[in-house]
């Protein structure tokens, strides 16, 4: 019988086995490392952002559990070609989904395929695995703003 839960699981397994946009990005003008000590997940994200504040390309490298890898893979697909303000909207929606009450439906209109990760809220210890990549992109953008200020 078809179940939505199985479909979600298949997407996560698929992205874990064959992560999209995996590897170093060259050239790239923003990057950052993220680490989740609770699980041992390590990520490095690379972004190429153009003058119009559009994420032209985004990749990641690292080692982590299936949730952190699938989340980073899905995130890179979702963010490629998006503006930085769209990133902020997705960041907020993803964070809200991961920390929402069990009964709350994810905002699929905003999240699209990222909604497959809504199941992590059943496992509080895995929420940081799913949100690590988003925090890493955020810090990549903030680091850039900082170095731009000191120049
Ligand atoms: Zn993890």
Domain residue ranges of the chain, discontinuous segments joined by +: 4-149
pLDDT at 144 over 80: no
> Residue 114: exposed, middle, or buried by beta-carbon count in 10 A (0-12, 13-18, 19+)?
buried
The predicted-structure confidence for 79-138, as pLDDT tens digits, reads as follows 999 999 999 999 999 999 998 887 888 888 999 999 999 988 888 889 999 999 999 999
Query: What was the pLDDT predicted at 1?
Result: 46
Q: Tell me, in angstroms, the distance from the centre of ligand 1 to residue 128's CA.
A: 7
Q: Tell me, in angstroms, the distance from the centre of ligand 1 to residue 76's CA.
A: 17
H or E element that contains 56: strand 55-63
pLDDT at 4 over 70: no
Q: Which residues of 75-106 are buried (b: 16+ CB within 10 A; e: fewer)?
A: bbbbbbebeeebbeebbebbeebbeeeeeeeb
Q: Tell me, in angstroms, the distance from the centre of ligand 1 to residue 74's CA.
A: 15
Tokens of 108: 């699929």
CB under 5 Å of ion ligand 1: residues: 39, 41, 65, 68, 129
Q: Tell me, in angstroms, the distance from the centre of ligand 1 to residue 37's CA.
A: 9
Q: Which CATH number fits domain 4-149: 3.40.50.720, 3.40.710.10, 3.90.1010.10, 3.30.70.890?
A: 3.90.1010.10
């Amino acid at each position: 019988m078809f179940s939505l839960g199985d479909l979600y699981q298949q997407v996560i397994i698929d992205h874990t086995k064959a992560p999209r946009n995996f590897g170093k990005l060259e050239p790239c003008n923003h990057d950052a490392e993220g680490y989740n000590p609770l699980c041992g997940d390590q990520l490095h994200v690379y972004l190429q952002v153009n003058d119009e504040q559009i994420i032209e390309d985004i990749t990641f490298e690292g080692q982590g559990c299936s949730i952190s890898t699938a989340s980073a893979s899905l995130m890179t697909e979702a963010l490629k070609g998006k503006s930085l303000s769209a990133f902020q909207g997705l960041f907020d929606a993803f964070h809200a989904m991961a920390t929402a009450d069990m009964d709350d439906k994810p905002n699929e209109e905003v999240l699209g395929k990222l909604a497959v990760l809504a199941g992590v809220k059943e496992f509080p210890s895995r929420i940081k695995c799913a949100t690590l990549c988003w925090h890493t992109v955020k810090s990549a953008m903030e680091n850039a703003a900082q170095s731009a200020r000191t120049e």
